[in-house]
Amino acid sequence: MEILGYNFDEFLTWVGEDIDTLMMLVWILPVIIFVFYGQRIQLIISSNEIKKDIGKLEEYTALTKKDFLNYVKNNLVSKSDPLKKLDSFFDYFTIMPVDLDPNGIILKINHLVRSREDFIRLQINGMFSNLSSIELSKLQNLLEIVTTLQLFYKHTRHLYLTAKKQKNFPLILPLQMMIPFIMEEAVALKDAMPAIKNGQPIGDGIGPMIVGQMMLGIRKESVAFETVWSKTTFEDRDLFLLKAEGPNATVGRPGDGLEKIISIKKPDLVIMIDASLKLEGEDSASIAKGFGAAIGGIGTERFKIEEIATKNQIPILALVVKQSIHEAITLMTKEIADSAQTVKDELYEMIRENTTTKQSVLVIGVGNTIGVSQ
Partner 1 sequence: MSKSKNKISTCYTSMECDSCKIIKKRKYSKGDIVFSTSEDCSECNGKMLITKIFGVTMD
Task: List residues binding partner 1 (CB under 8 A).
Answer: 187, 190-191, 194-195, 198-201, 209, 212-213, 216, 246-247, 330-334, 336-338, 340, 371-374
Distance CA 221, CA 231 (A): 9
Residue whose CB is less far from partner 1, 224 or 331: 331
Residue whose CB is less far from partner 1, 276 or 330: 330
Q: What angle do CA 104, 105, 107 make, to 5 degrees?
A: 75
Residue whose CB is less far from partner 1, 208 or 257: 208
Q: Which of 95, 81, 87, 75 is nearest to 138 (CA)?
A: 75
Q: Please check whether residue 137 is in contact with residue 245, taking contact to mean a CB–CB distance below 8 angstroms.
A: no
Whole-number minimum distance, CB 332 to partner 1, in Å? 5
Residue whose CB is less far from partner 1, 75 or 125: 75
Q: Which of 325, 324, 320 is nearest to 206 (CA)?
A: 320
Buried b (16+ CB within 10 A) or exposed e, 149-179: bbebbeebbebbeebbeeeebebbeebbeeb
Whole-number minimum distance, CB 175 to partner 1, in Å? 24
Whole-number minimum distance, CB 210 to partner 1, in Å? 11
| Angle in degrees, 0-180, between the axes of helices 133-165 and 105-127, rounded to the nearest 10 | 120
Whole-number minimum distance, CB 198 to partner 1, in Å? 7
Residue whose CB is less far from partner 1, 94 or 198: 198
Residue whose CB is less far from partner 1, 293 or 363: 363
Whole-number minimum distance, CB 70 to partner 1, in Å? 15
Whole-number minimum distance, CB 45 to partner 1, in Å? 25
CA atoms within 13 A on the CB side of 131: 22
Whole-number minimum distance, CB 247 to partner 1, in Å? 5
Q: Which of 24, 17, 14 is nearest to 6 (CA)?
A: 14
CA atoms within 13 A on the CB side of 181: 6
112-115: long-range contacts, CB 8 A cutoff, minimum separation 24: 113/298, 113/300
Residue whose CB is less far from partner 1, 145 or 317: 145
